[in-house]
Amino acid sequence: MKDDTPNRRIPVGISACLTGQQVRHDGGHKHSRYCTEVLARYFRFLPLCPEMGAGLASPRAAMRLVEASDEDQPRLLACRGDQDFSAPMAAFIERVLPTLEGLRGFVLMAKSPSCGMERVRVYSEQGTVSRRDASGLFAGALMARYPLLPVEEEGRLNDDALRENFVERVFVYDDWCRLREQGLSARGLIEFHSRHKFQLLAHCQARYRRLGPMLADLKARPLEDIADDYIAEFMAAMACRADKGDHINAMLHLAGFLRQGLEDADRALIHQQIEAYQRGDVPLVVPMTLLRGAQSKVAQPYLAQQRYMAPYPDALGLRNRL
Ligand code: SF4
């Protein structure tokens, strides 16, 4: 799964029906063109169908989750006839999860009793809906085994803010995984924190303030332990969506670093466009482009490393819609 070519695509898992594979219970698919035609330019998708992996065919009986009074986990039953597929699904999950360690994200099909990330229905044995707060069996096991992994449902990628947040998390998590693959060092950890500081500031100020002190004394505990605690807090911070006020705060901080090297007119234009973004007249990309232009003139060394300036490829156009 390792790919070190310069234009490497990031390995990301995906429910196979979203790639157009005809693996659904009705013999069809749920092709997501956004995934296969846009994200696939940057993500190397690994398609996976848990139900086919569990040995079922397509077409097959539709499934649902049914509450099991004697077990923690609901059972995976056919909607008609109550045939129980829990055991082959459990065996598939046990077999496949260890092979997914190299993934940097996962796009799941919503509502599925196998793939749904959240709000999946669970039925009582009498056939009524008893709750709507479950995850599909595979999705739940995936998130439990890899709690840092950015996971999102395909339908939620239609929301501009959720889409941007997911893609940004995949890129930062990939950066972290590459750091770990190269071998953890105190210097690597400090540099990672440094280059993501403005992203943290934009996503969660409270966690931003906690994360710095976690790295203040890297000899206080084993480095592995510090790194594990750090990245759990870091990924939780990145999962908080940055709203307009958060981006304005981060951009004003950036502008402050650039103040010395700019002419009055350049500074005024940046502030005008931050205000225009605040009013909703222009998208985030407008003031950010001015700040990037200013940075290319000033070459402020601390800002040069900030991933907030360009967290993912511009061609994705994600900041055009924020
Ligand atoms: S939702 Fe999951 S289990 Fe169902 S067809 Fe798609 S990939 Fe297969």
What DSSP letter does each residue of 14-76 carry, written as one string? EEGGGGT---STTS-----HIIIIIGGGTEEEEEE-HHHHTT--SS---EEEE--TTSSSPEE
Are 140 and 279 members of one domain? no
Q: Are residues 68 and 171 in the same domain?
A: no
Tell me if residue 281 falls in helix, strand or coil: coil
Token digits for 229?
């605690």
| 3-state SS class at 78 | strand
- Residue 195: inside a domain, yes or no? yes
The answer on 170 and 294 residing in a single domain is yes
Same domain, 145 and 177: no
169 and 128 both lie in a single domain: no
Residues 34 and 149 in one domain: yes
Domain ranges, residue 305: 159-322
pLDDT at res. 7: 64
Q: Is 16 in the pocket of ligand 1 (CB under 6 A)?
A: yes
Q: Which of 107, 140, 158 is the C-terminal boundary of a domain?
A: 158
Residues 223 and 78 in one domain: no
Six-digit token pair at 84? 């129980």
Q: Minimal CA–CA distance to 151: which of 159, 140, 161?
A: 140
Residues 150 and 169 in one domain: no
Residue tagged 């071998």 (tokens): 183
**Residue 3 belongs to some domain of the structure:** no
pLDDT tens track of the chain, all 322 residues? 445 454 689 999 999 999 999 999 999 999 999 999 999 999 999 999 999 999 999 999 999 999 987 778 999 999 988 799 999 999 999 999 999 999 999 999 999 999 999 999 999 988 999 999 999 999 999 999 999 999 999 999 999 999 999 999 999 999 999 999 999 999 999 999 999 999 999 999 999 999 999 999 999 999 999 999 999 999 999 999 999 999 999 999 999 999 999 999 999 999 999 999 999 999 999 999 999 999 999 999 999 999 999 999 999 999 999 9
Residues sharing a CB contact under 8 Å with residue 141, sequence separation 6 or more, in sequence order: 93, 97
- Report whether residue 115 contacts ligand 1, using a CB cutoff of 6 Å: yes
123 and 177 belong to one structural domain: no
Tell me if 58 CB under 6 Å of ligand 1: no
Ligand 1 atom closest to Cα of residue 115: 2
Domain boundary among 119, 135, 158: 158
Asked whether 255 lines ligand 1 (CB < 6 A), one says: no
Within-domain flag for 231: yes
The answer to whether residues 180 and 320 belong to one domain is yes
What is residue 263's three-state secondary structure?
Answer: coil
> Is residue 288 domain-shared with residue 146, that is, in the same domain?
no
How many domains does the chain divide into? Answer: 2
Taking alpha carbons only, the member of 49, 44, 42 closest to residue 11 is 44
Ligand 1 touching residue 154 (CB < 6 A): no
